[in-house]
């Protein structure tokens, strides 16, 4: 006589149940959502997304910007700018300006607008003073290392005569 045991089978501890699959699925998406939330927070915190305050105003001045650029090209000025790190953690800016014949340009009001590409509130303007003929210098205090956008403007009698936009890198 043989006897068979017809009881419940013992549970396999390694078996996947519906509950285990649900927890793995929820955990996977929770990690994805948490990573996306961190990336969105970092992106919005480091770049506000604003290039110009008013696109409408920028569009209205577009044709004037083109005319100014053509006039600047016709003048043929040679302007060289040099931004170097100063000992106090700031930077010194030296601009040499010459006309198309190589003669120094004097009596201009140069201003350098240093804009950080990703952080608002650290932008600054540096007014340059003419020292020797055609050489303009200025300093910026506490200028952080890294990439900067430098817009260099030269004016005379309330008329912008020169504009240069450059990306620069300032080392430690």
Tell me the pLDDT tens digit for each residue of 78-113. 999 998 888 777 888 999 999 999 999 999 999 999
Q: Residue 60 and residue 66: Cα distance in Å, rounded?
A: 12
Q: Residue 47 and residue 172: Cα distance in Å, rounded?
A: 22
| pLDDT at residue 170, as a whole number | 82
Q: Pick 76-170's CATH classification: 3.40.50.2300, 3.40.50.2000, 3.40.50.300, 2.60.40.10.
A: 2.60.40.10
Q: Tell me the mean pLDDT in the region 55-74.
A: 90
Q: Residue 132 and residue 134: Cα distance in Å, rounded?
A: 6
Q: Which sequence spans correspond to the domains of the chain?
A: 17-49, 76-170
Q: Tell me the mean pLDDT in the region 27-37.
A: 97
| pLDDT at residue 172, as a whole number | 76
């Amino acid at each position: 006589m043989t006897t068979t045991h017809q009881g419940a089978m013992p549970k396999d501890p390694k078996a996947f149940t519906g509950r285990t699959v649900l927890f793995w699925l929820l955990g996977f998406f929770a990690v994805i959502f948490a990573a996306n939330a961190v990336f969105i927070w970092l992106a919005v915190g480091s770049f506000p997304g604003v290039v110009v305050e008013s696109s409408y105003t920028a569009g209205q001045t577009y044709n004037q910007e083109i005319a100014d650029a053509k006039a600047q090209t016709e003048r043929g000025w040679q302007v060289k700018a040099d931004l170097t790190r100063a000992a106090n953690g700031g930077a010194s800016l030296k601009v040499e300006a010459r006309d198309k014949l190589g003669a120094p340009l004097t009596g201009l009001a140069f201003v350098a607008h240093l804009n950080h590409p990703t952080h608002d509130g650290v932008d600054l303007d540096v007014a340059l003073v003419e020292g020797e003929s055609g050489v303009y210098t200025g300093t910026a205090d506490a200028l952080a290392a890294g990439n900067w956008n430098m817009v260099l403007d030269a004016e005379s009698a309330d008329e912008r005569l020169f504009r240069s936009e450059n990306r620069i890198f300032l080392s430690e």
